[in-house]
Each structure stands twice: as structure tokens, then as C-alpha cells.
Structure 1
């Protein structure tokens, strides 16, 4: 929020913002009640179709015809295609019938629709008898956290509770890797690659870092030319456009068509390599098939994690508390700064409430500005993505850090948002009595 500094003007702005926040929260509660009622109605429509076909010798076909008919009836009344309505009915039955505990928690305002969707997405593959215990464990993890923050943890929880190991399921899924060409309009097409997550994340990271180097070089040269009064050609490509051009160059020619970064601070594009951040339980190195956390994205299988760790000379050992799972200490090989290593292990991602940008793609911020006397110490530092770093700098959002890496954010309205140092989604926490001095690696 930016004002002229007039206290009266600031008071008016804050009053208007307070009204907006109050109304938004009220609308969200009403909207949730309506959405839940609609889900129950659509689930009832699905059961009605099932009852209509009951007793038929061709039950599967008759049930499908009954469902199509009901979906078409509802779709006609609501001006929605019958196929879309049929998908909505199926989704509603999944939530209402297979995840009733989560639905009830949403109804009581304990979680949001986003949490329900994350629980359903993670738990659908579980056997029916396992889902109730999964829901209860998932709801504990959702408390006080945004859906995107808890999504990877829920996926890992579901993988742990599944009777088949994640590695086995990943091997089956990897057999379906492919590249597809989908023709589009106006001379454009979509090239879609279905790959293991670690590879896809690495490809996207390298394209992004190369694109950032090109854009930074463009800015440097434009500034230098402007200071001399020269006129330079302007490269107005967006990051998405640069990434797409780089992908085409690398696949067709093996190298970017133009590399203007050779003599700049960005450095040659060819030297930029993919970088991902993975948290691996120590048990994985002993042969366990425990899923591992690709921070900021989703879990990966143990075998892929072992291959990544075996071929990488830059890794860190995390010691976590056996009960809470919080990071206690870090040691590492071939990294430039112990403090940076510790902060990356502690924070994992941007520490603004709800943000999941991985720490390796964030900036380290002085919670109390260095220019105002803030210390360069772990108790005054945290990772913030570029968006939230600049928001802290240029708006009225403020943050202070408590012991244990806990951040307390204060909004322009004075609302308090507590941001605890995240526990690794795959922290190894054996069943030992509370208060035990034992700790666990990774």
C-alpha cells in the first residue's frame, strides 16, 4: 500500500481495506456453504442414476445411460454441456462418498475447498479402507496452512500409506512417458512432453535460468547504451517467449541461436545447468523406497533420488528433531557459505505465507533492513521470492523473526500471520519418546 504520508489518507485506505477483507471473508463462507450444498445435490443425482439402473442385467450400460440422461437434464437446466455435468457428478460423488471427513471439516470452516481438492487428489489412489485414516492425518497437516504449502506433504503421506511402494508405481507411470504434438491455430502447436518430474523440473529450471541471463544482459546493455546516448535494438521478448525460443534452439541445433551473455556478468548460456532441490530421507540410501520431496513441486521416487545424489557433489546433510521434524543442524560439501546452506535447509521455500517458490530460486532477505542496523545473522535472515521480497520493501507489509526461525508477518491492516519454519516433508522421525536426545539425518 502506497500513500502520500498523510495520516488521514492512510486511515481512509485502511478502513476501506478492512471492509474489503471483512466482506471477502463473509462471501467465502457463504460461497463454501453453496458449493457444499451443490456437491451434495450432484452426488445425489449420481446415486439416483445408480438406483434407476439397479437390478438390470446390463447394469453397467444401463447405469451409464441413466447417468447420461440425468446429466443432460441438469445440463440443459443450467446451460452446461452434459459431458461437463457428468464429470461434475462423478467428482461430487468422490468428495461426498469417499472423503466425508474432509467434507465435514470444510463445512465447519476448518479447511477450504483448496484443501479438500488437495486431499482428494492425493488420496484417491488409496484403497477405500485406508482413506479415513489418511483423511485424519491429512487434516492435521492442513491446519493453519495454505493448500499449496501442504500439497506435496499430503502426496508423500498418501504414498507412505499405499500398499504398493512409490518406486513401483513410478516405474509403471514412467512407462507412459511420451512426447505429443497437438496442432493449434494460426500456425502454432503445443509440444507436450510427459517426463519424470525431476527431469521436467530440471529442464524448466535450466530454460528459466538461461532466459533470466538473456533478459539481464539485455537490461545491462540497454542501460549502458542509454548512458552513452546510443540507440540500440530492443529485445522485447517476455520470459515465456525466451524460454520457448531457447527450447526450440536447444532441440533443433543443440545450442542457443544467439548468446549475447558471453562478455557480461550473466556468463555464457552453455555453462548454465539445471538445478533442483530435493530432500531425501537417510533411509533411502539404505535401500528404503520412501518417497522424496522435490521442494516446490511434488514427490519423486527413491531410485531417482539415489541417482541424483550419487551423481551430485553438492549436497547437504540435515539433522532433524525426532519428534517435531524441525531442522536442528546442517553440514555440507563444496558449498560457498555455511549460513546460506543452513537457511536453505531451514526455509526450504519462500517464507511469505502461502508461497511455495523453492529456496534455490529465492533471495535472502534481512528481516530488519541491513541499512537500518539489521544483522547478517540467521536470526535476521530468511528466503523470499522476488515478488514477496519487493512487496516487503515497497508496501506496508512487515515481518519480524522470533527464535526457531518463526516469522511473524503484519499486514497493512494489522492482521498477524505466523509463519513457522517448515519441517521437511520427508523428515525421518522414528517412534521415540518425547524429549529423547536422539536426532535423525535428513
Structure 2
């Protein structure tokens, strides 16, 4: 049964909303002008300090003293410390002088500040002489997506453009892995582990699954009685708190305190394992390419790890494609999802609401045209939506229809339309060619 929309849609409501949307657009444009002006002023101050170095031998000292003096002067006006202002001056020079095309695109409204930040952050791994080349490609990509969606792609692009291979740089970076303790306030501290991305993601994912299992089943444990039941009956912890407690239990005791399977080899918590979707180019698997692989919805990982995941495990979903032809060579999951779900996960990669980047493996498959209203369960009527945006589609006046090629066209309560193209495919799907008479069927 179709559910009643909860978003009001009267004429007065829509007129008020339209006015507020117009206002926020104007405010955003005005903020961009002010922010760019501030960056240019701070960058000019940094150049002024550099010009005070009158001799080569004294340049470093004079430059630093001039920077401190100007930063302190600015700090008095901005009510900020001179160290903070000096850092902002350096960042402003990097943006204004190192990425002028991005600033111009921001000024014209083609991109927003979040895009500029993503471009600058991603380019940090590249030599300065390559920034302009990277910037040109990055701006074009940013015009089509929100900053959070494009960030991972820009990181991968920068790594691929780097003159040294990603595998070589990852090996050096992995040598710096460590665990640090940062004392905090009120008897609390931060335990920080610097690990290869795929390991860190796996750890966090497993902690999350274990925490959710504890939260979701504590009522059942409380009803069961016994010592664990008594503890569960008073357990009002949030998922974040449970996740932190599980981490401490695992590291200090080897098993979660509320894990009923701690003395067995099977059970809900004992069976939980991390699940991460990795997109691996064919050239990487064969060893002819040492570029980064895409940890779907997150960031690049090194090729050696991707090869291991693709070949040596039964709990990671793998997608294997030929980057030259774009034809899918294999798509496999040891958890045995349906072929339709695997196709959609590879096509969508993330939630298909404009701007959302929740990975597809964390989303729900939604019938674009409601199944209860006759919508078919077929690829042209299915797309991934996270729980938040799935609920918005059901209970608000936002509407969506699916066009050819997996394109979603969203319509807001004000009638504004937002085209949501399927992400640039990390794998490409093509129908198999019909067999030629007399030739054996392909495998």
C-alpha cells in the first residue's frame, strides 16, 4: 500500500520555500565572493612578507620574521592567533597562486569551495609543476558532482598522474604505520592507529557490524535471563559507544564482553567479517599496472592488496573488468548475491540521490516506480538508495523517475529537476554477442 506523503505541498508553503531557496542561493554566491577576496588578501600578505627578504643569506630568517609580524597584525583584527593566521596565509597562497583556474571556476559559480578544497588536497601528492595539468581535468569532473562524491575520484586521478607508481609510494608509506596515544580531557584519550586504508576500513566495518548486532539483539538477550541477560537489560549505549567498547574488549580480552559466541567457533558475532567492495582493473590483476584500485565509496588502495583480495579470500566481493574494451570479464561474490544485485552495485557504486556517496553495499535496492503500484523488478526500474533517501522518496514530495542508461531524474517539491547520471563506470556492461553458427559457445 502506498504511504501518505508527509511533506506539505500547499501554495503558500511552496511560495515560501521558493523564496528561501532563492535567498540561500544568493547568500552562497555572496559568501563565495567574500571568501575569495579574503584568500586573495591573505595571499598578498604572504607575498609581502616574502618581498622583505633583501638578501639571499638572510632570506629565510627575514621572511619568517615578516610572516610572524604580519600574521600577528592580522590576528589582532581577526581575533585569531598569529600561528593560525600564518597557516591560513600559507594555504591562501597555495590556492590563489597554485590553482588559479580552480579559483576562477569557483568565482564564476561553476564549482564551490568544497571542490577547490578537494582539488588542492588531491593534488598535494603531485609535484607542483603538474598542478595545472591536474587542475584542468579535475575542474571538468567537479562541475558534474558534489565535492564529497568527486573527492575519491580526484585522489585516484592524482595518484595515476604521479611520476612514481602508487605501489612504490604505498610501500614507503606503509613503513610509517603506527599506533599513537593522544591524552585528552576528563580522563579520556584518543587511540590513533595509522594503517593501510583497506585494513582500517575492514576494522571499522567489523566493529560496526558487531556493534549493530549487540544493539539489535540486546532485548532478546535481556529476555533470556542469566548474567548476560541482566547486563543487556540495563544496556542503553549508542552504536558509537558500543563500537568503542567492542574495540577495547577485542584488544584487551580478545573477545567482546557481550559476545555469547566467545567460547565457540560459530554464532552471530563470531561469524561477522568485514565486507568491502573493491574495483580492480584487469591490468592491475595481471601485474602490468601498479596504479591504485578503487575501494568503492572510499579511497584508493594499493594494487598488491587488491590482488590479494581478488584471489585469496572468500569474503570480499570482486569486480573484474578490462579497462581497454570496457567489457566486464567477471563479476563475483562469495556471499552469492543475485546477478541483478551485483549488476546494480557495480553500476550505481553509491546511493543515487543527488550528492549522496553512501556506498551501494550499504544501501537498499529501491523500485523507482513502486512495486506496490505495479513497478517491475527489473534493472530499468531499480537503483540503490541509502536508508535516509529511501525514506525521503517514500514520505516526502520528492519524486524520481528512471530514464535509459540508469539515469535518475529527481524532482523537488518546488519542481526543480536534478539529473543523476549513473557514475562513470569502473566496470562496463555489454550484452554478449550472439553465437556464430558453427562456432562453439564462449565460456
Task: Give TM-score, length-normalised by structure 1.
Answer: 0.88
Q: Which residue of 1 aligns with 2:345?
A: 344
Q: Which residue of 2 aligns with 1:367?
A: 368
Does the 8 A contact of 1:318 with 1:331 survive in 2? yes
Q: Deviations over 1:49-93 (max 9, x none)?
A: 000113252211211111011001100121111000001000000
- Measured in 1, the distance between the counterparts of 2:140 and 2:165 equals 23
Offset, 1:153: 0.8
Offset, 1:222: 8.1
Q: Which residue of 1 aligns with 2:243?
A: 243
Distance of aligned partners of 1:54 and 1:166 in 2 relative to their CA distance in 1, 3 Å threshold: farther
Distance of aligned partners of 1:260 and 1:414 in 2 relative to their CA distance in 1, 3 Å threshold: farther
Q: Which residue of 2 aligns with 1:229?
A: none
3-state SS of 1:274 partner: coil
Where in structure 2 are the equivalents of 1:204-243 lying within 5 Å?
A: 204-218=204-218, 233-243=233-243
Q: Which residue of 2 aligns with 1:156?
A: 156
Offset, 1:398: 1.5
Where in structure 2 are the equivalents of 1:263-274 lying within 5 Å?
A: 268-274=268-274
- Measured in 2, the distance between the counterparts of 1:348 and 1:312 equals 21
Where in structure 2 are the equivalents of 1:166-177 lying within 5 Å?
A: 166-177=166-177
Q: Deviations over 1:255-285 (max 9, x none)?
A: 11013699xxx95211100111111111101
- Measured in 1, the distance between the counterparts of 2:22 and 2:223 equals 45
Aligned residues: 414
Q: Which residue of 1 aligns with 2:436?
A: none
Residue 302 of structure 2 corresponds to residue 301 of structure 1: yes
Does the 8 A contact of 1:330 with 1:345 survive in 2? no
- Measured in 2, the distance between the counterparts of 1:171 and 1:330 equals 29
- Measured in 2, the distance between the counterparts of 1:172 and 1:347 equals 33
- Measured in 1, the distance between the counterparts of 2:243 and 2:61 equals 48
Q: Which residue of 2 aligns with 1:203?
A: 203
Distance of aligned partners of 1:268 and 1:6 in 2 relative to their CA distance in 1, 3 Å threshold: closer
Residue 399 of structure 2 corresponds to residue 398 of structure 1: yes
- Measured in 2, the distance between the counterparts of 1:280 and 1:172 equals 22
Q: Which residue of 2 aligns with 1:102?
A: 102
Q: Which residue of 2 aligns with 1:54?
A: 54
3-state SS of 1:350 partner: coil
Q: Deviations over 1:149-208 (max 9, x none)?
A: 111111111111111111111111111111111111222111111111100100010111
Where in structure 2 are the equivalents of 1:103-122 lying within 5 Å?
A: 103-122=103-122
Q: Which residue of 2 aligns with 1:24?
A: 24
Q: Which residue of 2 aligns with 1:130?
A: 130
Does the 8 A contact of 1:281 with 1:290 survive in 2? no
Where in structure 2 are the equivalents of 1:273-422 lying within 5 Å?
A: 273-287=273-287, 288-313=289-314, 315-319=317-321, 331-332=331-332, 334=334, 335-422=336-423
Where in structure 2 are the equivalents of 1:137-152 lying within 5 Å?
A: 137-152=137-152
Does the 8 A contact of 1:283 with 1:290 survive in 2? no
Does the 8 A contact of 2:318 with 2:331 survive in 1? yes
